[in-house]
Amino acid sequence: MFEWKRFNCSSLINRSEIPVVSLDDLRDDITNKVRLEDKRVLAFFGVKREEDTILYIVLGDDTISRLFIASAIFTKDIISYRSFTPEVPSLHLFEREFYEETGILPAGHPWLKPVRYGKSHRAVTGEMENYPFYSMDGEEVHEVAVGPVHAGVIEPGHFRFMCHGENVYHLEIQLGYQHRGIEKILIDKTNSASGKKIFFPQIAEKIAGDSAVAHTSVYAGVMEVLTGTAVTQKVMIIRTICLELERAAVHIGDLSAIFNDVGFLMGSSTFAALRTLIINTTLQICGSRFGMGLICAGGVNFDIGSELASKILNNVNYVQNKIEKLIPLTMLDQPSVLTRLEGTGTIDSHTARLIGMVGPAARASGVPIDIRTDYPSGMYRQYPARKVVLEKGDVFSRSYIRYVEMMHSFNYIKEQLGIIQGVQGARASSEITNRLPADSLALSMTEGWRGEIVHIAVTDSQNKLIRYKIKDPSFNNWWGLALAVRNNGVSDFPLCNKSFNLSYCGHDL
């Protein structure tokens, strides 16, 4: 056995402190920790160097708010290892990604298929154009293929349903159409600008446009940890307010979309109108409805003065009151809506934990994980957020949890607005130009509206960034969607899909 390196969220680690262990030890230990100690895999990624490949694994213990990291080294001659997935199913997509990025084969992986690259490194997974779809045989079995181009203005992704009549046996989701190489762009930009401005929020904003504030604040967190930039309390408050506004706005929009999918016009149009009020509030703060351009190095570009604060307060109060009245009217007292939502697309707590789901989708299934309360940082340390956990894991739970969470978000925003006036330090805006520290690793994470967002930066001995790993919650949850639609009607898929509302570009990077 070996000792994992323990550390906190948002702390700088020297890479020499990270234990390097043999793969067999690592496999046994991870299996034990995930199965028996309820630890979760937060990151599993390779750093490819000329001479070898390093595998980093970050586990999290939600109960004690501690992170654990260990690594393993693959020398050039090692081309495969025994897969972890059979023992730890939540690693399945991480291992596929690792294989795709490094070419080291996880032998015995049960579902080795391309993740996002158009041309994969090895012929084993097959190329994306020749994707090895799961198929079923049977007299009355039929396949329905949807996408990658969909009706409506949404992102591309291919769905293939194995159906028996109207019943879905299995859904296979093939993504990768949105792959832009955003990790590589960030690394290249940072390295070529080393010494000068090395902070690129405009790239981090585009990781997933609906989580712009969340992704950018995590990116800012990583860069601030790496360069040792301090952030004032006022900056933290403004970032947190915008993050909670983003959460509320998307949750309201999702409810509107869910009502639209069940054909309930009244709910759909009223919630859509309320969402506009919330994103317009973000517009008033930073000039962008989605919070683009808000966050800068070590600070925020826009201050919230007393006049703006009262405007925000008014909008939030108005929307909150409206929603409080509308929810019974549109959902809880509407049998025709409830019958569509209840019992549809159920994921039980065991499955959710096994496949490593995160965010509201996991909490709706009774998995109590929320980065804001489990690994509090920034304002969440002083002013704890409320964690909401529901039991059933159906579309209704995933809708209802959105309602409860947005109510908590509104309360949280109001609380923050109450203290913002007392905090001095206006808007702090300094450019990060420090050189990066050598041989270091920094991790930062937060709870976006969709779930946990984890960013990890790794530097080498020449003070260069050699790896920037982004994990969007969609990466964990797409598989949950595939399992949720099993044994449901094929016509209920859009509803299940909307209740997860996962990001394509967040997955494809």
Q: Cβ of residue 267: shortest distance to other proteins, in angstroms? A: 8
Nearer to other proteins among residue 37 and residue 143 (C-beta) = 143
**Would you count residue 71 as binding other proteins (CB under 8 A)?**
no
Is position 425 an interface residue for other proteins (rule: CB under 8 A)?
Answer: no
Q: Which of 7, 259, 375, 396 is in the footprint of other proteins by CB under 8 A?
A: 259
Nearest residue to 46 (alpha-carbon basis) of 128, 103, 130, 90: 103
Query: According to the binding rule CB under 8 A, does residue 472 interact with other proteins?
Result: no
Q: Which residues, including other chains, have CB under 8 Å from residue 493's CB and lie 6 or more apart?
A: 159, 161, 168, 171, 485
Give the nearest distance from C-beta 365 to other proteins in angstroms: 21
User: Angle at CA 359, nearest 5°, toward 215 and 41?
Assistant: 85
Of the two residues 22 and 269, which places its CB atom closer to other proteins in the complex? Answer: 269
200 binds other proteins (CB under 8 A): no
Q: Which of 192, 339, 421, 462 binds other proteins (CB under 8 A)?
A: 339
* 504 near other proteins (CB under 8 A): no
Are the CB atoms for 443 and 6 separated by under 8 Å? Answer: no
Q: With CB under 8 A as the contact rule, which of the stretches 17-25, 102-110, 257-265, 415-423 interacts with other proteins? A: 257-265
Tell me whether strands 5-7 and 66-75 are parallel, antiparallel or unpaired.
antiparallel
Residue 118: CB atoms within 10 A of its CB come to 11
By the rule CB under 8 A, 265 interacts with other proteins: yes
**Smaller CB distance to other proteins: residue 85 or 334?**
334
Half-sphere exposure of 361 (CA within 13 A, CB side): 33
Q: Tell me: does residue 490 bind other proteins (CB under 8 A).
A: yes
d(CA 450, CA 485): 19
Contact window for other proteins (CB under 8 A) among 99-107, 199-207, 334-342, 468-476:
334-342
**Least distance (Å) between residue 259 CB and other proteins:** 8
**What order of strands is seen across the sheet that includes strand 66-75?**
5-7, 66-75, 52-61, 40-48
Burial class (CB in 10 A: 0-12, 13-18, 19+), 310: exposed
Longest C-alpha distance within the chain, in Å? Answer: 72
Cβ 77 to other proteins, closest distance in Å?
Answer: 47
Nearer to other proteins, 51 or 140 (CB): 140
Helix axes 233-261, 493-500, angle to 10 degrees: 170
- The residues pairing with 296 across neighbouring beta strands, listed in sequence order, are 299
CB of 27 to other proteins, least distance (A): 40
Q: Verify binding: residue 438, other proteins, rule CB under 8 A.
A: no
Residue 107 or 149: which CB sits closer to other proteins?
Answer: 149
DSSP-based three-state secondary structure for 208: coil
One symbol per residue from 121 to 160: x for binding other proteins (CB under 8 A), - otherwise; what is it? ---------------------xxxxx----xx--------
Minimum distance, C-beta of residue 264 to other proteins, in the bound complex (Å):
4
> Angle 61-224-452 (CA atoms, 0-180°, nearest 5)?
35
Classify the phi-psi angles of 363: left when phi > 0, otherwise alpha if psi is within -120 to 50, otherwise beta: alpha
Task: Establish if 487 lies at the interface with other proteins (CB under 8 A).
Answer: no
Residue 328 touches other proteins, criterion: CB under 8 A:
no
Is residue 273 within the footprint of other proteins (CB under 8 A)? yes
Nearer residue to other proteins within complex by CB, 149 or 193 = 149
Residue 489 is a binding residue for other proteins (CB under 8 A): yes
Closer residue to other proteins (CB): 317 or 339: 339
Q: In this chain, which of 95, 224, 492, 508 binds other proteins, going by CB under 8 A? A: 492
- The closest alpha carbon to 92, from 109, 71, 70, belongs to 109
Whole-number Å distance between alpha carbons of 448 and 60: 17
Does residue 336 touch other proteins according to CB under 8 A? yes
Phi-psi map region of 228: left, alpha, beta (phi>0 left; psi -120 to 50 alpha) = left
DSSP string, 372-419: HHHS--THHHHSPPPP---SS-SHHHHHHHHHHHHHHHHHHHHHHHHH
Q: Does 178 bind other proteins (CB under 8 A)?
A: no
Amino acid, single-letter form, for residue 116: R
Binding region for other proteins (CB under 8 A) out of 75-83, 123-131, 333-341, 405-413: 333-341
Interacting span for other proteins (CB under 8 A) from 52-60, 102-110, 265-273, 432-440 = 265-273
| Least separation in angstroms between CB 263 and other proteins | 3
**Minimal distance, residue 346 CB to other proteins, in Å:** 14
346 binds other proteins (CB under 8 A): no
| CA 116/CA 229 separation, integer angstroms | 34
Measured N-to-C along each axis, helices 233-261 and 395-420 cross at an angle, to the nearest 10 degrees, of 150
Cβ–Cβ < 8 Å for 448, 211: yes
Residues in contact with other proteins by CB under 8 A are 142-146, 151-152, 161, 166, 259, 261-266, 268-270, 273, 334, 336-337, 339-340, 344, 489-494
